[in-house]
Amino acid sequence: MSPSKPPRLHNELYATIHPSKLKGSLDSQLVVITGASGTIGQAIAKSFAIAGAVIYLLDYVEAPLDKLKETCLKLGARQVFSARCDVTSFEDCETVVNMVKEDAGPIDVLVNNAGVAGMGLFHKKDPKAFMNTMAVNLNGPYFLMRLVLPDFLARRRGCIINMASRAGTTTGPLLIDYHTSKTALIRLTACVQAEVDLHKVEDVHLYSLHPGAVVSDMSKGAGTPPDLEVQAAFPEVLQKMAEWMPNFKTTPYVSGMTCVALATGIAKKALRGRYHDCTQDLDDIIAQANTLEQDPDLYGLSVKFLGDMPNDGGMENRPGEEPVPFPEVDE
């Protein structure tokens, strides 16, 4: 296996995902975006507008979307619709998907961007709050993927982009529900792609993304009540988090235009089903598609053991071991 080369990193738009290059690239394709009113959601919507898509904006609260709709039309969107959608409810998602198809036709691209996060101690956090994070960050994408995938398979084309997070690849305290939900979303994306591939449908492709270090309401903690107990018990952790913020320099349009580029299919050989950090140069990754194809652990969740032992789950029996009888008792 040839050694891989690290891709270049970008906090700003670069040649491969520049709006001038992708302008009109998804002409009249129908794109559904959840969490559309947030910082990253708006950037994604504007990016697909540049690509000439028909856009359906979804959010828990529909009212703030009016201005965004106007902006998208000015940027080149063919049509823009919006609706309220509670992604934690399968019935609500089903109703909205049917409405989208009635209003605008078959869906071509689904971007699951809606997400929440809230800090707190695991053993003291209200279970309802924990499960709400899981419901928004994992159940919502699952519901919508489940609803659009039959049509994608029938039409033999379609793209699903799940906005995950670097948090889904790391271990950390105080945001355990967020880490857990994003890890599950990355794995869900990969598993669904593996199942889609059983159907030999090359043009149905899925991705999970880290948007980069973007300053947003979520990253700033807006709307999350300060946990006084956490502040009192672990001030050093909160101080460290505060020190990270000056390093949040990635424009949200990097993830927005990356979504557009991926939806065109340019990286499906290299990244289909995989986790991608949007700050990494897509051209550099595409150029190493063969290396990625040979190593399923690249751009995915994996486990490391001492001595580089394989993760074979015990299927490789060790030679020379005799059966050891377990003590028996009279029952």
Query: Is position 178 annotated as part of the catalytic site?
Result: yes
Alpha-carbon distance of 70 to 76, in angstroms, equals 10
Both tokens of 120, joined, read 């707190």
Residues 6+ apart with CB under 8 A from 289: 269, 270
Alpha-carbon distance of 100 to 83, in angstroms, equals 9
Catalytic residue among 56, 142, 178, 207: 178
How many residues appear in the chain? 331
According to DSSP, the residues that pair with 9 across neighbouring strands are 280
Residue 247 to residues 7, 11, 178, 244, Cα–Cα distance (Å): 19, 10, 20, 6
Residues 6+ apart with CB under 8 A from 271: 207, 262, 285, 292, 299
Question: Which residue has tokens 């995950």?
Answer: 164
- Kindly tell me the burial class for residue 127, based on how many C-beta atoms sit within 10 Å of its own C-beta (0-12, 13-18, 19 or more): exposed
Both tokens of 279, joined, read 């700050």
- List residues with catalytic annotation: 178
